[in-house]
Amino acid sequence: MRTSSGASVLCGLMLAAAVTVTYADGAGIALKGNDRGAPACIACHGAQGEGNAASGFPRLAGLDAGYLQTQMEAFASGKRKNAMMAPIALALDATERKQLADYYSGLGRSISVVKPAVRQADVAAPDSGEPGAHLALKGRWGDGLPACVQCHGSSGAGVGSVFPALAGQSALYIENQLRAWQQGTRAPGPLGLMKVISDKLSADDVRDVAAYFAALPPSRASKGVMP
């Protein structure tokens, strides 16, 4: 009796230790990678998940966890094609992808705490009349183009798990994504919305609208429904 309960306690401890070793937490993988070949995320996405604007490595901090997880799955399945992220996503298991998504999503919270001034999820930016601002805030209905903010939130802060934040993403990254949809290397995504929209954008539109969102401060995604 005594021996068997002692053995089961020991067994439980060993199991707990094994689980801890197999599934490092999101912060640990972000910092050091895992033992199956996933590199440290911070090498490209920055120490605080802020991204690297010059290289087109996206901001991950504060993006919705469900969105981040879906994108890692899309890289792993090849639906979203990217030579850097495909092998990395494949080196993560489902639990690790979720832990990393939760970790990066949570980093946004500290941004809001540190800089309350950038919490403006529901405040619309004024239309400066620049072509990028006009497209983002008003769309171009003659071409069947809705305003970007109708789905991405009034200040580009994102809405729920489906519509990611654009505010604070670098211009290069935003341009790369719009071109990826035009060229078919990024899967059309929910309802094929971004493929339809990207196909209607000229090269100038892509540059202008990317510059507009890149200049907005990052802020927490709103959890509400579409504005």
Buried b (16+ CB within 10 A) or exposed e, 94-109: eebbbbbbbbbbebbe
d(CA 209, CA 211): 5
Complex with ligand HEC: residue 15 or 43, whichever CB lies closer: 43
Which residues make Cβ contacts (< 8 Å) with residue 189, sequence separation at least 6? 195
Complex with ligand HEC: residue 5 or 177, whichever CB lies closer: 177
State in angstroms the smallest separation of the CB of 206 from ligand HEC: 8
Complex with ligand HEC: residue 133 or 180, whichever CB lies closer: 180
State in angstroms the smallest separation of the CB of 37 from ligand HEC: 10
Contact 69, 118 (CB under 8 A): no
Contact 213, 156 (CB under 8 A): yes
State in angstroms the smallest separation of the CB of 87 from ligand HEC: 9
Complex with ligand HEC: residue 16 or 224, whichever CB lies closer: 224
Which residues make Cβ contacts (< 8 Å) with residue 139, sequence separation at least 6? 145, 146, 147, 148, 150
- 129 sits in the region (left: phi over 0; alpha: psi -120 to 50; else beta) called left
State in angstroms the smallest separation of the CB of 220 from ligand HEC: 15
d(CA 222, CA 73): 23
Complex with ligand HEC: residue 12 or 36, whichever CB lies closer: 36
Binding site for ligand HEC (CB under 6 A): 29, 38-39, 41, 43-45, 57-58, 60, 63, 68, 71-72, 82, 84-85, 88, 100, 135, 146, 148, 150-152, 162-164, 166, 174, 176-178, 180, 189-190, 193-194, 197, 209
Complex with ligand HEC: residue 68 or 107, whichever CB lies closer: 68
State in angstroms the smallest separation of the CB of 49 from ligand HEC: 9
State in angstroms the smallest separation of the CB of 16 from ligand HEC: 24
Coil/strand/helix, residue 175: helix
